[in-house]
Amino acid sequence: MTFESLGLSPEILRAITDEGYTTPTPVQVQAIPLVLAGQDVQAAAQTGTGKTAGFTLPILHRLQPMASSSPSPARHPIRCLVLTPTRELAAQVQESVKTYGRHLALRSTVIYGGVAMPPQVKALQAGVEIVVATPGRLLDHVQQKTINLSQVEILVLDEADRMLDMGFIPDIRKIIALLPERRQNLLFSATFSEDIKKLSQGILNNPATVEVARSNTTAEGITQLIYPVEAERKRALLTHLIRTLPIPQAIVFTRTKHGANRLCAQLEKEQIPAAAIHSDKTQSHRMRSLEQFKAGEVSILVATDIAARGLDIDQLPFVINFELPHVPEDYVHRIGRTGRAGSEGCAISLVSPEESRERQAIESLIKQTIREEVSVNFEVVEPVQRPEGRRPPREAEGRSRTDRRPVARQSEVEAVEQVVREPKVPRPVPEVPRSVYSHHHFSRPPLGSSGIKKHREIPALLGGLLKKTP
């Protein structure tokens, strides 16, 4: 299957070729013809499979005949509205629209909170056909009468499951009430829960269903490991793993904003370049931290779940759960930041005895037992069984060695090599574009993903995990 066979216009195919893509992903193969046909679509696929291009490409094709080179705002009414849960995701969708619509006369803009409104108002007044927005800021524009949604023909709900989790559904229903009744509706989600199906029933009209993976499954290319460690020793173990595995770049997840700030400060104290992103950070700070991470200026990005949802970072070698999430589905979303587009990655979880319930819930959800490892030259101890309900003391150093039992050690280097030796079914990945990856041996990200420049080669130790897909 090629993009030419999907029936896209020559201008869009030219933009695809400019980016070095040749083969559509499974979700694109299924979704693009349905969107081109004008059908409502509900689609679920694992993160990193090219969902964004699955709707931006056919939308650009459908709106192309109405594109005008006239400077008059009246010739550029809003015809497509894309709603996303986070500012980062909105910016990435807008980038995809600009990239694949570069040879078209269509105009687009992105509006989200955390930044000044006047530049957004100016862009809307100039006239745009495609608006990518977060629900809250969009309703601000509606209230101030700076946006007109009366001619919207296509509505897209991207990452609908996260919008459901974040409580955006009342806002979405307010927005839908402002749109024309006759329109095309597209709902894209990482998972297909019963709540999402109920939501789609109230918005979509006789939708076609696209589902390229089972709900709550993890990508095959992700090696999942658990390092047992007492809670008070997690920071020391994290620093040890970053330096000895080694880990050149990773997103590290924490449960709280305060925990993210504290961990980031600790890593910087250990001379490990790190940045934290969470909802208390300003939008400019979050975008600057993300750009530094993509450019290789920062090796560790410490994030909370809400801030990290929708981050599109290609060829990310590691995801580390400093703390397990309370909601097991969030584990699937977290580790989905690596192993994208058929490439391989590693998800490491630092698990304390107090997190046994969270671990059990995660393993039950993904229907597999995550292998345990013990780091070389780092003493990992197993606490003595305590009475139910009692928590361990805050400091382990003050205890007698008779109160602790050493756990048998195994080299994680050997463990990783063993994983690499296991045969895997090769997956076709488009060739790497010279502009981003010409000096590195990385597999090509899916169409619709943004690039990341590595500041160093991945060490030979992990060459197998991140080897170029044939």
Among 109, 162, 167, residue whose Cα is nearest residue 138: 109
Identify how many contiguous H helices and E strands the chain contains and give both numbers.
Answer: 17, 16
pLDDT value at residue 340: 65
pLDDT value at residue 213: 59
The 8-class DSSP code of residue 374 comes to B
Identify residue 373 by its one-letter amino acid code.
E
Rounded Cα–Cα distance for residues 320 and 272 (Å): 15
Identify residue 403 by its one-letter amino acid code.
D
pLDDT value at residue 48: 65
Tell me the two tokens of residue 91: 């910016």
User: Is 141 strand, coil or helix?
Assistant: helix
Would you give per-residue pLDDT tens digits along the chain (470 residues)?
Answer: 789 899 999 999 999 998 888 889 888 999 999 999 999 999 987 666 788 999 999 999 999 988 777 778 887 899 999 999 988 889 889 999 999 999 999 999 999 998 899 999 999 999 999 999 999 999 999 999 999 999 999 999 998 888 887 888 899 999 999 999 999 999 998 777 777 888 888 899 999 999 875 555 666 678 999 999 999 999 999 999 999 988 999 999 999 999 999 999 999 999 999 999 987 887 778 888 888 998 889 999 999 986 666 566 767 889 999 999 988 878 888 888 887 655 688 999 999 999 999 999 999 988 899 999 988 778 644 443 444 444 444 433 333 333 333 333 444 444 444 443 444 444 343 333 333 333 333 333 445 444 444 434 444 444 444 443 33
Which H or E run includes 227? Answer: strand 222-228
Identify residue 407 by its one-letter amino acid code.
V
- Cβ contact 327:261 at 8 Å: no
The 8-class DSSP code of residue 105 comes to -
Rounded Cα–Cα distance for residues 187 and 338 (Å): 24
Rounded Cα–Cα distance for residues 438 and 417 (Å): 26
Domains for the chain: give ranges and CATH numbers.
4-211 (3.40.50.300), 222-385+401-462 (3.40.50.300)
Q: CA 71 → CA 68, 107, 125, 127, 233, distances in Å? A: 8, 11, 11, 8, 61
In this structure, are strands 404-406 and 381-383 parallel, antiparallel, or unpaired?
A: antiparallel
Q: CA 163 → CA 56, 156, 159, 172, distances in Å? A: 19, 12, 7, 9
Q: CA 176 → CA 91, 130, 244, 301, 419, distances in Å? A: 22, 16, 52, 36, 48
- Cite the beta strand spans of 290-338 per DSSP E: 300-303, 318-321
pLDDT value at residue 313: 74
- Cβ contact 447:16 at 8 Å: yes
CA-derived radius of gyration, the chain: 23
Hey, how many other C-beta atoms are within 10 angstroms of the C-beta on 305?
Answer: 19
The answer to whether the pTM exceeds 0.75 is: no
